[in-house]
Amino acid sequence: MRNAFIDELVELAELNENIVLVVGDLGFSVIEPFAKRFPKRFFNAGVAEQNMMGLSAGLASEGFHVFVYSIANFPTFRCAEQIRNDVDYHNLSVTVVAVGGGLAYGNLGYSHHAVQDYALIRTMPNMLIAAPGDPMEVRACMRYLVKNPQPSYLRLGKAGEPCIHTTVPDVIPGQWLLVRQAAADAKTFLTTGATLELADKVLKGNASLQDWSLRSMPLWSMRTKVAQVSQLESFSNVRTVEDHLIDGGFGSWLLEAALAKPELLTRVKINALDPKVCGMVGKQSTLNAEGGLSEANLCV
């Protein structure tokens, strides 16, 4: 996803001279193509996230679309008030980019585990969450954001994720994106972020799930909650999958949306991370399984 991000950013910046990349002293062997191609639109703000986010808001207030790139919690929690007051409140075109969403940096320890980021960002009224499920969705989200500059949060995995889509899909905020349709299409998995890969694998590998479709939700926000009821109504069962704690996460967001029509609540089942992974260290796959995102759990 990192590579799709930077390739797409370079391509978009060729056409749009207002695109600026600010990094928090991170991005070795990722950001170089942009930095080399557009040295006047690339800034390393150093290890100083509050200033990084504040100055990005200042640049955006002068018409730039600023991508602020760092790892895991550094561009979110470390400068949460700058996102809230400077970016979101002033409705500025800053895209906060966090690489290492979920437990992608599992071995690096809890400091590098981004499992509460949706919770923080989705309480800000103007923020749009972009949580692509594969490199194709990364490109789709980037194109959408550059066409519609706004306060936004792009959550990336790391590198090497497979492409689930064969082409760059059309993405619309709040709209479930069909990945694979079962014959009846009454039951669907609905993933956000990098768990698309896991759901895809589980669905393909288990005959017992053959009547389940697969959908992804790469763009969602507080504002698009109202669009959920009509989509939920089309299904008897919806199973959400996310590599985030259930508290404040994507499944919880969907349930909050479903409160508008409470009979829909029982149609939703959430697969999210158990907080027991907080403090655990290990590979992403190990920690996801420990936290409940296992093949076995997705089948029941």
Partner 1 sequence: MPTTSLLAKKIRQNALQMVHGAKASHIGSALSIADILAVLYGEIIRYDARNPRRADRDRFILSKGHACTAVYAVLAELEFFHKDNLKTYGDDFSPLMSHISSQVAGVEFSTGALGHGLPFGVGKALAAQIRGESWRTFVLLSDGEMDEGSNWEALMFAAHHRLTNLTAIIDYNKLQSLDSIANTMGLEPLVDKLFAFGCNAIEVDGHDHDVLKLALSNIDSARPTVIVAHTTKGKGISFMEGKVEWHYKNPNDEQLAAALAELEIVNA
Q: Which residues contact partner 1 (rule: CB under 8 A)? A: 20, 40-41, 43, 45-46, 48, 50-51, 53-64, 81-82, 85-86, 89-90
Buried-exposed string 84-122: b where 16+ CB fall within 10 A, e elsewhere: bebbbeeebbbbbbbbbbbbbbbeeeeebbbbbbbbbbb
Q: Which is nearer to partner 1, 16 or 51 (CB)?
A: 51
Shortest distance (Å) from residue 154 CB to partner 1: 20
Shortest distance (Å) from residue 244 CB to partner 1: 27
Q: Is the dihedral of CA 207, 270, 180, 8 positive or negative?
A: negative
Q: Which is nearer to partner 1, 62 or 263 (CB)?
A: 62
| Residue 224 in tokens | 């698009």
Shortest distance (Å) from residue 18 CB to partner 1: 10
- According to DSSP, the β-strands at 219-221 and 128-130 are antiparallel
Q: Which is nearer to partner 1, 46 or 275 (CB)?
A: 46
Shortest distance (Å) from residue 146 CB to partner 1: 18
Q: Which is nearer to partner 1, 73 or 213 (CB)?
A: 73
Q: Which is nearer to partner 1, 12 or 68 (CB)?
A: 68
- The torsion angles phi and psi of 247, rounded to 5 degrees, stand at -65, 115
Query: Are 164 and 196 in contact, with CB atoms under 8 Å apart?
Result: yes
Shortest distance (Å) from residue 48 CB to partner 1: 4
| Residue 286 in tokens | 């190990």
Q: How many Å apart are CA 84 and CA 76, to the nearest integer? A: 10
